[in-house]
Structure 1
Amino acid sequence: MLIIMVYALVQALLMHPSYSAAVCDNSILYPAPIPLGVSGRNSNAPCGQNGTLGCLVQDPAGNQYILSCNHVLSRLNQDIGENILHEEPKNCGSNRVVAQLTKFKTIYFDLPGFNNYVDAAIAKVVRGEVRSDGYINCIGKVSSWVLQDTPLGLEVQKSGLTTGLTEGRVIEVGKPVGITYEGHSTIMLDTIKIEGINGPFTQRGDSGSLVVTKAVEGRHPCMPVGLLFTGKDIEQTGIACPIVHVLDAFPAIAIVGTNEVPKFLPQGTISSTTISQLQTVIKRHQANLIQDKDVIGLGLAIPLGGNTPVIKIHVVRDDEAVRRRLPLHLDGNPVLIEKMESFELN
């Protein structure tokens, strides 16, 4: 009898809305309706190939969907209609179907000239299986208002399967990155690079996490910034697609969250005036510079150990011949030339 009573008490605690914030463990099996930010896997993906069920979105008809990465929900450009499971990554076989794959943004591999901006997919929620308020484990409800532009130096957070709740700082915007996945390669343009604070921002299994700002009472709630899709443990960094690109990939879809109107937009550690001036310089020179066959794109970055933003020219190869062709300053602003970083989808 005592065992039954204890079990009932545990189940009641699991169902309580405050449980998610108190436990903050995204790797366990949650009873329905589950919060977001927890473990998920395509039913046809190998056992253990789990990612994060990032957040909840909704269409004008009121249909709700889980938003996560293409490579998490659709096994990378695979079949619509496949089941999405909620399960512990080391204990497969739960058969807890929480959604069905509905749509994904195709990622083009090994096709020069095709531009990728998003690693994202949506899966229609099975009624009663997912919290309808968009609650993200460890974070809570986020804003349905999203950041249109990501400020350098902005402090952000995410809730993911492997590392749980982590905090970071935006150190690059407009960054093109090389992507490899199961022997195939491509380029993802205009990404956000995030440096972890007091540890890694992400590890394998965190892909699909929604990156949001921290809430500041009286100014703004947690506002969506991007969708995390890869990173590097050794650098303690993560790479995210800007949330505006993600939502553009699924017209009429909006993030489910609080409708609290931000009184002030979140700010980074770099002056918005400085950023605006540098963005203007980039726009003035970008069309000309990308005519160079070795130039992939231009972005803004905070150099390691510094706090002064610089313009970066990202190139496919970095040698003396390339550097002779490219400027070291643009309109008097210093320029860093950097070989494009490569990442594996995780």
Structure 2
Amino acid sequence: MLRKVRMLVFAALTSLLAVTVSAQVIDHKAYQERPIQLGTSGGNINDRSKSFCCGGTLGSLLKIGNASYILSNNHVLARTNQGKPGELIIQPGLIDQTPVCYQDTNDAVAALYQFVPISFDKKTTNKVDAAIALPKAGAVASDGSILEIGSPSSRVVDPTPGMLVKKSGRTTGLTYGQVQAVGVTIDVQYQLGCGTGKTVTARFVDQFAVSPSGFSAGGDSGSLIVTADNNNPVGLLFAGSKTLTFANKMSDVIAAFNGISSASLSVQQSAQAGRAGEVELRVEHARRVKERYRDFLEGLPEALGHGVGRSRSNPEEPAIQVYVRKGAEQARRMALPSLEGVPVEIIETGEIYALPGCTPCGVKAIKSCR
């Protein structure tokens, strides 16, 4: 009897331990022993001003030929076009150092290697906000493991409306969402200095949007978005509003860097034959209609962008979505209910910003620096 009681106690303790381990909270902001996993706090060691420092997420590992690089955003690794090759990339980022904003060279895990310049010219458009950094030997897990996700698949898929996705980022950790729209054109605000300086706008095309609002927050910039089931890379998180998160398509990110062979990664359309293929055709038709009426849509009051997603009244059918800063009712009154048979829906998003984390130096609490 005594032996039986001991066995029951041992079983109970084992179960309790299992629950404790599974419920353990992973701190994406904390210093990691090397080699680090990704989906963690990081950024450029020089990303600070006199009063503020900034950072984001070291999102994933991108393989180019025989070398692997940390992938994140231009505004995280390259200080929004201001970075120079060789600048140190640290983990955790300046916003999570002790003391906050401390530039500790001992925390370097990589060096800035290349970034895709962002154009702020009103006559030009962008497809990606992306940069890569060359890891130091032994500093990053060679399998590209991401906190709470594991190793992503090497098979990239394009987003489709309704696709279930997840991401692992510095601020909100592991979150799940759904692709709200594809073929998105948006105007995104950037601040040229960290917490200071001129605010400028860049136009991005062929992006995708993810809901709900809690999918990301400031500091999650650079996170890899993957499919919820198979960890297939879908996109690179870079911007957001009070209601939506926006991301570059992963296929465009891969194509943006020199030396990437089209054979190095498999890029697939996620829609398969049959009914899913029919939906894809209707989405593509809606995208073409949207582009034909682009000037009209962008002329609506407070318009910031547009995309194609599932209709709110009939999720089986696509709809043109127009994103407005404010005054959705006024935009609805001026918009047509449909264009060439495709429903038009007005969504009030608030302003759309790039999503670095920013905090006043000397204050161990992230805040908006806008």
Structure 2 length-normalised TM: 0.73
3-state secondary structure, aligned to 1:135: coil
Whether the 8 Å CA contact 1:175–1:189 is kept in 2: the answer is yes
User: Match for residue 116 of structure 1?
Assistant: 126
Q: How does 1:20-99 map to 2 (within 5 A)?
A: 24-46=26-48, 48-60=53-65, 62-78=66-82, 79-87=84-92, 89-91=96-98, 92-95=102-105, 96-99=107-110
Query: Partner letter of residue 70 of structure 1?
Result: N
Query: Partner letter of residue 117 of structure 1?
Result: K
3-state secondary structure, aligned to 2:132: strand
Specify every segment of 5 or more residues in structure 1 that has no aligned partner in the other structure, as ranges.
1-18, 216-220
What CA distance in whole angstroms lies between the structure 1 residues aligned with 2:329 and 2:30?
52
Query: In the alignment, is residue 229 of structure 1 matched against residue 225 of structure 2?
Result: no
Correspondent of 1:243 among 246, 250, 261: 250
Whether the 8 Å CA contact 2:309–2:321 is kept in 1: the answer is no
Q: How does 1:144-293 map to 2 (within 5 A)?
A: 144-147=154-157, 149-182=158-191, 183-196=199-212, 200-215=214-229, 221-232=230-241, 234-235=242-243, 237-253=244-260, 265=270, 271-283=276-288, 285-286=289-290, 288-290=292-294
User: Match for residue 7 of structure 1?
Assistant: none
What CA distance in whole angstroms lies between the structure 1 residues aligned with 2:46 and 2:91?
13
Bigger Cα Rg? 2
Query: Partner letter of residue 175 of structure 1?
Result: V
Residues 42, 319 of structure 1: alpha-carbon distance in 2 compared, 3 angstrom cutoff = closer
Residue 175 (structure 1) shift: 1.6
Q: What fraction of aligned residue pairs are identical, expressed as a percent?
A: 34
What CA distance in whole angstroms lies between the structure 1 residues aligned with 2:166 and 2:232?
10
| Cα distance per residue 1:92-124 (max 9 Å; x no partner) | 344211111111111112x11110111110111
**Matched pairs, number:** 310
Query: In the alignment, is residue 140 of structure 1 matched against residue 137 of structure 2?
Result: no
What CA distance in whole angstroms lies between the structure 2 residues aligned with 1:65 and 1:263?
22
Structure 1 length-normalised TM: 0.77
What CA distance in whole angstroms lies between the structure 2 residues aligned with 1:321 and 1:37?
40
3-state secondary structure, aligned to 1:279: helix
What CA distance in whole angstroms lies between the structure 1 residues aligned with 2:354 and 2:267?
33
Whether the 8 Å CA contact 2:63–2:69 is kept in 1: the answer is yes
What CA distance in whole angstroms lies between the structure 2 residues aligned with 1:324 and 1:204?
33
What CA distance in whole angstroms lies between the structure 2 residues aligned with 1:315 and 1:59?
36
| Cα distance per residue 1:4-55 (max 9 Å; x no partner) | xxxxxxxxxxxxxxx9996532111011111111111201112641210000
Whether the 8 Å CA contact 1:314–1:340 is kept in 2: the answer is no
Specify every segment of 5 or more residues in structure 2 that has no aligned partner in the other structure, as ranges.
1-20, 192-198, 356-370
3-state secondary structure, aligned to 1:134: coil
Root mean square deviation of aligned Cα: 3.6
Query: Partner letter of residue 32 of structure 1?
Result: R
| Cα distance per residue 1:110-153 (max 9 Å; x no partner) | x1111011111011111111111111111001111101x31111
User: Match for residue 113 of structure 2?
Assistant: 102
3-state secondary structure, aligned to 1:146: strand
Residue 330 (structure 1) shift: 3.7
What CA distance in whole angstroms lies between the structure 2 residues aligned with 1:124 and 1:287?
39
What CA distance in whole angstroms lies between the structure 2 residues aligned with 1:202 and 1:323?
28
User: Match for residue 8 of structure 1?
Assistant: none
Query: Partner letter of residue 69 of structure 2?
Result: Y
User: Match for residue 360 of structure 2?
Assistant: none
Q: Comparing 287-296 with 315-324, which one deviates more in the overlay? A: 315-324
Query: Partner letter of residue 102 of structure 1?
Result: Y
3-state secondary structure, aligned to 1:342: coil
